[in-house]
């Protein structure tokens, strides 16, 4: 009898809604919306292979092991500070109008940041696509609990567990957030596996359309975490400033970051070649922890903000190839914005990973 696949999910993400981003200077509805998670959940609920579970509270310690306290303080309190100061009337998200670039200071020693967190947003946020609303902090906190609870299911014996995380996480770095991401769910799980799970070596496979700049930064100098990312070439795609093949880590982490920037309209044939190279590196690294997968479906041929060419059935093949490693797997949701296809794509990937 085939075992059920645990799916950890929460309704907390529903309060992270009414989101606006600035694209080319124009305000548009965020592509990252509650409909994404709802579409996936609906498809999985109609399939008998999945069992839904609620996350358990893990506190701030696993988050603090990855992110700076100042970053958490800003994300948690920017909304209430902005509301009190009249920066928003409650109907509009907060997006900063001024960003603290590294070149701003030059040779100067900056005295301090503003006291109010909503005025400090631009010192931590790196784009105009990651707004703060009343429910942002609670949604981001619970997304971490979703991820960690999925990890606990796998450590408890499940060969595969899926954390339906929203908001996503792989663009969030130690002291910086953006790309729809506030807290780095996959990185927090990897660090938790090291600290709490007793692992010496953890591998993260990132198959989102966009480069996971936050995850790469967090483990750039680490010798105990392997980060592998297949993504659109940053010469043409967000986040533009990282994800090139020459980026391979430094110090103890030298060679433990690897990037495969892909040409536009890459289909399963080209994708499978890059994936095979990544999986060979996982095998050589020999992790002693479950494989952490940052799973994005914005590689889909009809994704509105992507330009690769994977089809729904291709995700089953990707899952099958990864499953051949013979490792337990923690799958965490990242991007994917073709809402009408998200459920089918998630079913295909998880089916391939599960062998069902």
Q: What percent of the chain has pLDDT over 90?
A: 95
- Only one residue has tokens 């659109």, namely 232
pLDDT at 110 over 90: no
Residue 102: what pLDDT? 87
Q: How far apart are CA 20 and CA 15, in angstroms?
A: 14
Mean pLDDT of 116-131: 97
The closest alpha carbon to 221, from 257, 189, 171, belongs to: 257
- pLDDT surpasses 90 at 107: no
The span from the CA of 192 to the CA of 66, in Å, is 9
Contact yes or no for 120/74 (Cβ under 8 A): yes
Q: Which of 26, 269, 314, 319 is nearest to 162 (CA)?
A: 319
Residue 325: is it exposed, middle or buried by C-beta count within 10 angstroms (0-12/13-18/19+)? middle
State the distance between the two ends of the chain, measured CA to CA, in whole angstroms: 11
One DSSP character per residue, 96-144 reads: -S----HHHHTT-------SSHHHHGGGTB-SSS--B-TTHHHHHHHHH
Q: What is the pLDDT of residue 1?
A: 43
Report the distance separating Cα 35 and Cα 15, nearest Å: 12
Distance CA 108, CA 47 (A): 59
Structure token digits, residue 287: 């992790």
Q: Give the per-residue pLDDT at 105.
A: 86
Is residue 167 left, alpha or beta, with left meaning phi > 0 and alpha meaning psi from -120 to 50? beta
| Separation between Cα atoms, residue 91 and residue 133, nearest integer Å | 9
Torsion-angle region of residue 169: left (phi > 0), alpha (psi -120 to 50) or beta? alpha
**What is the per-residue pLDDT for 2?**
63
Domains of the chain: 5-68+133-354 (3.40.800.20)
Distance of CA 287 to the CA centre of its chain: 21
Beta strand 20-23 with 26-29 is: antiparallel
Under the banding of pLDDT at 50, 70 and 90, the label for residue 157 is very high
The closest alpha carbon to 349, from 244, 271, 235, 249, belongs to 271
Catalytic residue positions, numbered: 171
User: Alpha-carbon distance 141 to 182, whole Å?
Assistant: 9
Is residue 143 a contact partner of residue 166, using CB atoms and an 8 Å limit?
yes
Q: Determine the distance from the C-alpha atom of residue 25 to the mean position of all C-alpha atoms in its chain, rounded to a whole number.
A: 25
Query: For residue 286, what are its two tokens?
Result: 């020999």
Predicted TM-score (pTM) of the model is 0.97
CB 55 within 8 A of CB 161: no
Q: What does residue 250 show for φ and ψ, rounded to 5 degrees?
A: -140, 170
φ, ψ of residue 140 to 5 degrees: the values are -65, -40
CA-nearest of 142, 50, 10 to 349 is 50
- pLDDT tens digit sequence for 194-217: 999 899 999 999 999 999 999 999
Residues 6+ apart with CB under 8 A from 58: 144, 145, 148, 149
Least confident span in 88-92, 93-97, 175-179, 346-350: 88-92
pLDDT tens profile 221-264: 999 999 999 999 999 999 999 999 999 999 999 999 999 999 99
Instruction: Write out the H or E segment, with its range, that includes residue 195.
Output: helix 185-195
> How do residues 4-50 score in pLDDT, each as one tens digit?
999 999 999 999 999 999 998 999 999 999 999 999 999 999 999 99
Instruction: Round to whole Å and give the CA distance between 335 and 333.
Output: 7
């Amino acid at each position: 009898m085939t075992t059920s696949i645990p799916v950890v999910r929460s309704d907390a993400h529903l309060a992270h809604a009414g989101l606006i981003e600035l694209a080319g200077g124009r305000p548009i509805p965020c592509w990252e919306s509650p409909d994404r998670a709802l579409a996936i959940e609906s498809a999985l609920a109609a399939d008998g292979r999945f069992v839904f579970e609620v996350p358990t509270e893990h506190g701030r310690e696993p988050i603090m092991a990855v992110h700076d306290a100042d970053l958490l303080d800003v994300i948690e309190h920017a909304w209430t500070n902005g509301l009190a100061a009249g920066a928003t009337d409650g109907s509009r998200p907060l997006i900063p109008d001024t960003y603290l670039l590294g070149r701003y200071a030059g040779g100067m020693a900056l005295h301090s940041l503003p006291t109010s967190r909503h005025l400090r947003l631009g010192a931590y946020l790196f784009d105009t696509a990651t707004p703060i609303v009343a429910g942002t902090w609670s949604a981001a906190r619970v997304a971490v609990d979703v991820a960690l609870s999925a990890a606990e299911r796998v450590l408890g014996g499940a060969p595969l567990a899926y954390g339906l995380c929203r908001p996503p996480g792989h663009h969030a770095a130690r002291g910086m957030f953006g790309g729809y991401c506030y807290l780095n769910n996959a990185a927090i799980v990897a660090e938790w596996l090291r600290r709490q799970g007793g692992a010496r070596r953890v591998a993260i496979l990132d198959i989102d359309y966009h480069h996971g700049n936050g995850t790469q930064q967090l483990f750039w100098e680490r010798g105990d975490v392997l980060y592998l990312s297949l993504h659109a070439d940053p010469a043409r795609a967000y986040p533009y400033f990282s994800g090139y093949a020459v980026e391979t880590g430094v110090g103890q982490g030298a060679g433990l970051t690897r990037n495969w920037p892909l040409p536009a309209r890459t289909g399963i044939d080209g994708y499978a070649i890059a994936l095979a190279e990544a999986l060979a590196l996982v095998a050589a690294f020999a992790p002693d922890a479950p494989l952490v997968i940052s799973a994005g479906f914005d590689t889909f041929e009809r994704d509105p903000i992507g330009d690769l060419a994977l089809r729904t059935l291709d995700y089953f093949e990707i899952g099958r190839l990864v499953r051949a490693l013979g490792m337990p797997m923690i799958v965490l949701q990242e991007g994917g914005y073709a809402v009408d296809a998200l459920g089918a794509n998630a079913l295909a990937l998880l089916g391939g990973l599960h062998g069902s």
